Amino acid sequence: MRKTIIAGNWKMNKTPSEAAELAAAIAQIQGAKCEVVICPPFVDLFYAKKAIEGSCVKLGAQNCHFKESGAFTGEISADMLIEAGCEYVIIGHSERRQYFAETDETVNLRTKAALAKGLKVIVCVGETREERENGITENVIDRQIRLGLKDLSKEEMANVVIAYEPVWAIGTGLTATNEQAEEVCKFIRGLIAKLFDADVAEETTIQYGGSMNAGNCAALLAMPNIDGGLIGGAALKPADFATIIAAGSAN
């Protein structure tokens, strides 16, 4: 049975002291029957880690470089994240693709490097509004998945989570309908079956992300191919995040 994973992507929000406070509030959430992950900014990781100690909440980061160390100003390595207490890392978020020249090739390099060090990787894919309107959503997802997961082994796939995040739904208040989200998540599972095998596809957690909130989470998470959420804005509000965790625990 694949895991349901509810992950909060805090993006560029919260100073270390604010992060400690938010992480402590999330650590208080009771009754989670799914995996709960928080992904604060790098400088917050130590403080967040301390705040979630003793709870079931896991720590993740929002990016990781593919080299072990060296002259890569502004980047961070897998070893650094692991020592800071991370178990997960988000790779290839659309904001990194849009604003920081992330490509399918660098997503693949980062993913492989993080997996080699033992991190679990949340690989993000998703089409823009223009791509959806032009009817090429599946072509875009197909390319992102094929190139992003290139040369990964079936064993490595056990530590890969896919997050389907339609770019047009991120931070816009526009959510994909349950059917639109399910359709693409199902397509992704079919593609994983083709690229790896049916067992890998069956075991891979596929999250939806894009304006998931306390009001719409239950219906999205009830869809058969949606195994969790990658949550931005609502992950910064403990009460809303708790509602989403409860919905994730019900499936």
Residue in 61, 160, 226, 231 binding ligand 13P, rule: CB under 6 A: 231
d(CA 132, CA 120): 29
Residue in 14, 58, 93, 132 binding ligand 13P, rule: CB under 6 A: 93
d(CA 79, CA 113): 10
Q: Which of 93, 127, 131, 182 is catalytic?
A: 93
Q: Does 247 bind ligand 13P (CB under 6 A)?
A: no
Stretch that binds ligand 13P, among 28-36, 41-49, 50-58, 210-218 (CB under 6 A): 210-218
Residue in 211, 216, 225, 243 binding ligand 13P, rule: CB under 6 A: 211
Give me the residues paired with residue 206 across strands.
162
Q: Does 243 bind ligand 13P (CB under 6 A)?
A: no
d(CA 50, CA 186): 37
In degrees, to the nearest 5, what angle opens at C-alpha 247 toward C-alphas 243 and 251? 165
CB of 248 to ligand 13P, least distance (A): 14
Outline where DSSP puts E strands in the chain: 5-9, 35-39, 58-61, 88-91, 120-125, 160-164, 206-208, 228-231
User: Using an 8 Å Cβ cutoff, are 238 and 25 in contact?
Assistant: yes
Q: Does 171 bind ligand 13P (CB under 6 A)?
A: yes
Read off the tokens for 30.
Answer: 């009771």
CA nearest 124: which of 210, 214, 34?
210
Q: Which residues, numbered 4-23, are part of the site for ligand 13P (CB under 6 A)?
A: 9
Q: Which residue is nearest to ligand 13P (CB)?
A: 232
- For 162, the 3-state DSSP assignment is strand
Stretch that binds ligand 13P, among 23-31, 40-48, 177-185, 205-213 (CB under 6 A): 205-213
Q: Does 210 bind ligand 13P (CB under 6 A)?
A: yes
Q: Does 209 bind ligand 13P (CB under 6 A)?
A: yes
Is position 65 annotated as part of the catalytic site? Answer: no
Is position 182 annotated as part of the catalytic site? Answer: no
Residues of this chain that interact with ligand 13P (CB under 6 A) are 9, 93, 165, 170-171, 209-212, 230-234
Q: Catalytic residue numbers?
A: 93, 165
